Amino acid sequence: MKITIAEAKLPTSGALVVGVLKGGKLLATGKALDKASKGAISKAIKASRFEGDKGQWLDVLAPAGVGADRVLLGGLGDGKKVDQMAVENFGGTTWQRLGNCGLKSIAIVYDPIPGAKVELDMGAAAIAYGARLASYRFDKYRTTLKAKDKPSVTALSVLVEGPAAARKHFKALDAVAGGVFMTRDLVSEPANVLYPDSMAQQCKTLSKLDVKVEVLGEARMAKLGMGSLLGVGQGSPRESRMVVMSWQGAGAKAQPVAFVGKGVTFDTGGISLKPGPGMEMMKWDMGGAGTVVGLMKALAGRKAKVNAIGVVGLVENMPDGNAQRPGDIVTSMSGQTIEVLNTDAEGRLVLADVLWYTQKRFKPQFMVNLATLTGAMIIALGHENAGMFSNNDKLAQQLHDAGQDVGEGVWRMPLSTAYDKKLNCAIADMKNIGGRDAGSITAAQFLQRFVNKVPWAHLDIAGVAWADRGKPTVPKGGVGWGVRLLDRLVAKHYEDGK
């Protein structure tokens, strides 16, 4: 879909969208439309329960005296509470309501809102961004969709006074949306199409944006001593991969920030086989890696002034004659040995080596990893927040706040030696499970055993990587969770001059 930001000149056809404040209070364009239609707009408001509350919408079809074929009134509620997220969601919901309405174009007017918490330029850009995020579809395997099942709208414009500044904001936001879309695509792809090597090929496409991409195969990882990661992929005929992506947007000497992702392209559980029902969900067990790839695309796409490293460990966890067995002992790159008591606790085994490798090679300012690590995380926090575990209060606070900014919440969970002890083992340096209790925490403790002094946070995204129910800017399916949050973290605190 083509999205533009243009001067406030009303269209002569298509759908026209205007915001309305609490109490049914029309803004400048709404008033003009009401006048041109000889009161049809205010009459429509009176003939319904529409009061301009947030989340209320009212369709006015074919009002006489107005060029547009239909006018959609969107409630904004209290104007003083309108912030960036509110307008973004306004743009997203507009798309959801009108994207397939039969018309070809949508124009959303963004009139100044007195006392709003978002500036006019940023507000207009955020509306366009919200519509973009909402317009995502994963249709590539739908060969029999009829035209009426697909969006009719091919062009959307946001109309605002002095559009140049808004256009500039939107350009950066649109690059982030490009990253989010890539993550959604990766997460949605089935495991017969997306497996370690094909996902590595997807990473390679980032070189078009000047991201340096290195792909390491099993032989090189074996040389590095990554016995923990390699053990997980051992039961799959698909070779494991590790991909290192680097974006150099700051000076050559600037210390990088690093992002690490769990990329289990399918998790059967291995010999500790998962039950059948719902196993198809484990195609998105590469969600953490997917977010890291999308984030690198976003950062490079908007030319962020930062040196960023993204490293993903890509494996398929399958049971076959060569698969790792419960009780096997593997040696990780760190030298620590692990008794694999449950082959389904595989994400931590992958991350152990990738985290170690990343901190050793890049000595980053901080390291954030993302992983669909534990089902217990969903039990604890549901689908509203990701779990956050960190050894550093400042980083934890920054992540929390960035999440609030973009509507991707993280909730901090505890770490302590008492939990860590549950991983102690009689026959090796540790076991890979800590028992049923506090399952997400013991998983995080396991990861921490592979992190030295570097500020680090682990985001357990098991509950947020996939959505069974959509939100204004997030259609059902792969969410692309974390791209926006981490982009925001970088933009706020880690770009040159900050």
Minimum gap (Å) between residue 444 Cβ and ligand BES:
12
417 token code pair? 């030696």
237 token code pair? 């005929």
Residue 414 binding partner per list Zn ion, ligand BES, Mn ion, none, with a CB distance cut-off of 5 to 8 Å that depends on partner kind: none
Q: Which residues make beta-bridge pairs with 130?
A: none
Position 460 contacts Mn ion (CB under 5 A): no
Minimum gap (Å) between residue 374 Cβ and Zn ion:
8
Minimum gap (Å) between residue 262 Cβ and Mn ion:
10
Residue written as token pair 């995020």: 133
Between the CA of residue 78 and those of 33, 117, 269, 280, 396, what are the distances in Å? 21, 11, 50, 44, 32
Binding mask 258-297 for ligand BES (x = CB under 6 A): ---------x-------------x---x------------
- Rounded to whole angstroms, the Cα distance separating 489 from 293 reads 16
Is 241 a catalytic site residue? no
Residue 123 binding partner per list Zn ion, ligand BES, Mn ion, none, with a CB distance cut-off of 5 to 8 Å that depends on partner kind: none
Q: Of 339 and 344, which has the nearer Cβ to Mn ion?
A: 344
Q: Of 183 and 473, which has the nearer Cβ to Zn ion?
A: 183
> From the candidates 297, 348, 449, 484, which is the catalytic residue?
348
Q: Are 479 and 467 in contact (CB under 8 A)?
A: yes
Residue written as token pair 């392209």: 265
Q: Of 188 and 317, which has the nearer Cβ to Mn ion?
A: 317
Of 442, 229, 435, 196, which Cα lies nearest the Cα of 338? 229
Residue type, 448: Q
Minimum gap (Å) between residue 224 Cβ and Mn ion:
23
Q: What is the DSSP string of 257-276?
A: EEEEEEEEEEE--TTSPPPS
Binding mask 240-279 for Zn ion (x = CB under 5 A): ------------------------x--x------------
Of 74, 73, 189, 177, which Cα lies nearest the Cα of 125? 177
Q: Of 66 and 461, which has the nearer Cβ to Zn ion?
A: 461
Residue type, 35: K
Q: Of 34 and 344, which has the nearer Cβ to Mn ion?
A: 344
CA angle 486, 221, 198 (to 5 degrees): 60
- Rounded to whole angstroms, the Cα distance separating 255 from 291 reads 22
Position 111 contacts Zn ion (CB under 5 A): no
Q: Are 261 and 288 in contact (CB under 8 A)?
A: yes
Residue type, 44: A
Q: Of 33 and 264, which has the nearer Cβ to Mn ion?
A: 264
User: Of 433, 451, 459, 490, which lies in the binding site for ligand BES, with binding defined by CB under 6 A?
Assistant: 433
Helix/strand/coil for 65: coil
Position 403 contacts Zn ion (CB under 5 A): no
272 token code pair? 């500790």
Position 267 contacts Mn ion (CB under 5 A): yes
Is 274 a catalytic site residue? yes
Q: Are 131 and 4 in contact (CB under 8 A)?
A: no
Considering only residues 339-378, where is the footprint of Zn ion by CB under 5 A? 347
- Rounded to whole angstroms, the Cα distance separating 346 from 329 reads 13
Region near ligand BES per CB under 6 A, out of 25-33, 110-118, 342-350, 451-459: 342-350
Considering only residues 311-370, where is the footprint of Mn ion by CB under 5 A? 344, 346
Minimum gap (Å) between residue 433 Cβ and ligand BES:
4
Q: Are 16 and 107 in contact (CB under 8 A)?
A: yes
Position 460 contacts Zn ion (CB under 5 A): no
Binding region for Zn ion (CB under 5 A) = 264, 267, 285, 347
Catalytic residues: 274, 348
Note the residues at the interface with ligand BES (CB under 6 A). Answer: 267, 281, 285, 342, 344-347, 372, 374-376, 433, 439, 462
Give the binding site for Mn ion (CB under 5 A): 267, 344, 346
